[in-house]
A and B are shown apart, each in its own frame.
Chain A
Amino acid sequence: MPASGSNSAVAVWTILRKECRSEWRTRYGLNAALLFALASLTAVSFAAGRLGDRSDVLAALLWIVLLFATLSSLSHAFVREVEGRTMLLLRLVASPTEIATGKLLFNVLFLAVVEVFAVPLFLVFTGAPPVRWGPFLAVLGLGTIALAASSTLIGAVIAQTRGRGALFAGVSLPVLLPVLAAAVSGTRQMWSAHPVAPSLRLLAAYAVALLAASLLLYDHLWED
């Protein structure tokens, strides 16, 4: 079905553009995430000093800063629609899977933008040892996709419950923990000159499994 395939690609693209535009109008989520990243980076590097020789601690800190800087904004993709009462309208123009794929791509983009600012700052502030860019970017990229895939789906679940804000962290962190653990160990191996491949394989496998499961699940997320 080439026609319907290109139709849903158009729908996904439209959703992605709509997300980018509504984020750009206020830049509320982006500003909050960047500010949080900057503040927590300052706090960490001020409290711990330069950690150039402790790459194990650095790897953990990097992912904790990235995770918490982006967590609240990632869940917001669907909460925004529910709070603005625009979910129903959105569902009239696109299928649940198209909406979710668009929002997932937006979340990947959002994470990437935050990382472009936060990662260089992190490397400078903490006096990190030189990175091997190939493995580092691979860990960052796969970690970003896995984080976005799981938090988009959990965000869609949480948006329909009542205690949204409080519940999101508690419910999404257990799903994100394997991602975080694999990404941290990959980053640590990158710095300690160990092979990164096992962690990359684990991250990639988990990301693919999450993506596949969430694409199957989105159609069942709302009542018919």
Chain B
Amino acid sequence: MLLRLSLFVWISVAMVVALLKAPLVPVLLETTRVLYFHIPCAWIAVVALGWSMLHSILYLVKRDLRHDDHAAAAAGLGLLFCIAATVTGALWAKAMWGAYWNWDPRETSIFFVLLLYTAYLALRSSIQEEEKRARLSAVYSVIAFVAVPFLVFVVPRMYDSLHPDPIINRRGKVDMDPMIVLCFNAMLVGFTGLYFWMQSLRVRVSRLERRAHAA
């Protein structure tokens, strides 16, 4: 309870400070503020999908269904944050580049990631037996995450993209106002907390469902 409350306060304070106090970046102007949502969403999407792969491998090694709960919940949430990153990115692209969608390399690759994990959920829903579903979707999750680093980190850097370098840029530093960096890091921490809270909720729900099903 205390954790949840402090998470709420943390994100609220970070959001208010980011929207009211943090200065604007010259070219981006008012749209600077999308930054505090767009990048954490993209970051959490990668974290969640990696978490899904980690638990998929653990499932394949240990054959414990609790790992499958984690993998499924993380893939669903990863997809959710991926959609959030895509939508905020599209809004930002409309303001900065003039169109919501233009098949920029980064837009293309995030679209491929969306397709991959939609397919993962489609695969899950097509298998009835619990053990088989866990095993096959774990295999698929690992294969899907083989593509993720290519799509998120390699492809957008290989082709000419309007999108600025992601979180870690080529020089390995952030050229931004310290206030912006502070707010951004606070939002990053807040979103990470939010994600792991949602993750634990979903895992608990699926455990309860299994118990109800068995009873």
- A interface residue numbers (CB < 8 A to B): 150, 153-154, 157, 160-163, 167, 170-171, 173-175, 177-178, 181, 185, 198, 202, 205-206, 209-210, 213-214, 217, 220-221, 223
Contact = CB atoms under 8 A, between A and B. Distances in A.
Q: Which 9 A-B pairs have the closest CB atoms?
A: A174-B115, A174-B116, A220-B60, A171-B119, A174-B119, A213-B146, A209-B146, A157-B136, A217-B139
14 contacts: A157-B136, A157-B140, A161-B126, A167-B123, A170-B119, A171-B122, A173-B119, A174-B112, A175-B147, A177-B115, A178-B150, A205-B150, A220-B138, A221-B135
Given A175-B143, A185-B159, A217-B60, 19 more contacts: A157-B123, A157-B139, A160-B136, A161-B127, A171-B140, A174-B119, A174-B147, A175-B119, A175-B144, A175-B147, A177-B115, A178-B150, A178-B151, A206-B150, A210-B143, A213-B142, A214-B143, A217-B139, A221-B135
Nearest to B117: A174
A221 B139 contact: yes
A150 B108 contact: no
Size bracket of the B interface:
20 to 34
A171 B127 CA distance: 13
Interface in B81-134: 108, 112, 115-116, 118-119, 122-123, 126-128, 131-132
Query: Looking at chain B's contact residues, is the secondary structure mostly helix, strand, loop, or mixed?
Result: helix
B155 interface: yes
B104 to A, nearest CB: 13
Contacts of B115: 173-174, 177
Given A178-B151, A221-B135, A171 B123 contact: yes
